[in-house]
Amino acid sequence: MNLRPFSRVLVANRGEIAVRIVRGCHEHGVEAVAVYSDADADALHVRLADDAVHIGPPASAQSYLVHDKVLDAARDTGCDAIHPGYGFLSENAEFARKVIEAGLVWIGPPPEAIEAMGSKTAARDTMIAAGVPVVPGTTEPLANEDAKRIAGEIGYPVMLKAAAGGGGKGMRRVHSEADLLSALASARSEGAKSFGDDAVYVEKLIEKGRHVEIQVLADGHGNVVHLFERDCSIQRRHQKVFEEAPSPVLPEDTRAAMGEVACSAARAVGYVGAGTCEFLLGQDGSFYFLEMNTRLQVEHPITEAITGVDLLRAQLSVAAGEPLAFGQDDLAIRGHAVECRVYAEDPRANFRPAPGPLHLYREPTGPFVRVDSGVVEGMAVPIHYDPMVAKLVVWGRDRQEALDRCRRALQHYRIVGIPTSIPFFLALFQDAGFREGIYDTGFITAEWLTANLDAPTDEAVEEAAVVAAIAAFEDAMKKQPASASQASGSAWVRSRSWSTTYFGR
């Protein structure tokens, strides 16, 4: 791969994805520049980058989302490309155009493709025109009376969705006409608050459906391939918490059909780069296009694990003008991979966010275990952003081996100072239905959580004691005179070395 067009890439993001991009650039001899807010001044992506630029206060609307600040950071540090990661500005067509107009390389799809897929209603129109199956519903924003009529024609239950939505925001299930108007008002309000757009559309709710997505890659030379599927049906509040690849229920003929449809969707909008087509899989084997995410997905590592393809490297290569180094016939599924999103959340309190300091942070290791994280011991998980701490990705020769290996890795995690979603995953892996691959997007319920996470564990008591011991130790250290190395400002201290070099139990 020739990356000579790039000497320096600005990473317009934070957290684990920023760390992933920095490391990926370094693997290919490209320097990486980080941007950071006040809340991320000591974050891992800042420490690993070749240079870093402060861009404002913690609120993303005043830092990571400000176009001019990000562009100025790129120009001032001599960057020739910008990688947006996921979230923030990654699917902002206006920003992508500004990057290109500034003479920089945008490591993402063309702005026109982002626009075509950015609005769910416009994307539905495009896919219908391309012959791609979509869930029955509207392609235009709804007025109240239209909503009543169309929902009645489609038949309840229905799903209301913010037209500019994502991440589970602006989505409401409606099971009867009596609940429609209040749900519509709620979805509009959340859409306006989250995306600056209160447009809402309606789809038929496919009950007990599975959320299955297809990873695609396209270059600027007309080549498009798919890298099979990921099953993302384990969700809370319409947001993914666990993913696996391949899906445990997808027949080979359906897999091939979905892959071809995803490639057709990419071709229909002139797509270039890495993207994901999301589908709803019905109990009868039918599938429907939901949306296309015009960026790298959070869960991309499990696709990398089963195909051996480095998706970040592919993004860089395609952005540099290179053709894809492989065709569809070169790709095959090898083994099974799972991903657990470790969040700073309390699953016993309906996954309530729980930001705070990481008094102790030890990541698991072992064969075929990968942890993508953006934190270090001693730092705080900030309240201002998504509460993800890390992604635990594990590969096995088959699904059962992957699950067993992942359970062991979860048991070896040590995080003290905040509650996390790890107890949820340990309970999930003991669920008989889940072990058989029998689940859908409605799997996580308040009843399931109550039945499986009804009391603090002995580990919680143990961790409380560790927190107390750490606090006592830190208090004692404050009373000690400064050491010679601290007084002299040694290279070790100046480098801000951290204790996460210790791994395992």
Question: CA distances (Å), 70 to each of 57, 65, 470, in order?
Answer: 14, 8, 38
User: Is beta strand 8-11 parallel, antiparallel or unpaired with respect to 81-83?
Assistant: parallel
Structure tokens at 372: 């993508």
Please give the single-letter amino acid code of residue 19.
V
What are the residues facing 83 on neighbouring strands? 11
Of the candidates 295, 348, 405, 407, the residue annotated as catalytic is: 295
Q: How far apart, in whole angstroms, are the C-alpha atoms of residue 323 and residue 303?
A: 20
Residue 407 falls in the annotated catalytic set: no
Q: How far apart, in whole angstroms, are the C-alpha atoms of residue 15 and residue 13?
A: 7
**Residue 272: DSSP 8-state:** -
* CA 229 and chain centroid, separation: 15
Q: What is the DSSP string of 296-358?
A: --TTHHHHHHHH---HHHHHHHHHTTPPPS--GGG----SEEEEEEEESEEGGGTSEE--EE-
**Residue partners of 421: CB distance under 8 A and separation at least 6:** 241, 340, 341, 342, 343, 345, 347, 351
**Residue 137: DSSP 8-state:** B
Give exposure, 393-421, as e/b (b: 16+ Cβ within 10 Å).
bbbbeebeebbebbbebbebbbbbbbbbb
Contact status, residue 266 vs residue 216, Cβ threshold 8 Å: yes
Through-space distance between the first and last CA atoms of the chain, rounded to whole angstroms:
39
**Residue partners of 135: CB distance under 8 A and separation at least 6:** 203, 204, 206, 280, 288, 289, 290
Reported as type and span, the H/E element at residue 174 is strand 171-174
Reported as type and span, the H/E element at residue 46 is helix 44-48
Q: How far apart, in whole angstroms, are the C-alpha atoms of residue 206 and residue 329?
A: 33
Q: Which long-range contacts (CB under 8 A, 24 or more apart) does 467-475 make?
A: 467/359, 467/416, 467/417, 470/359, 470/360, 470/416, 471/359
Question: So which residues are the catalytic ones?
Answer: 295
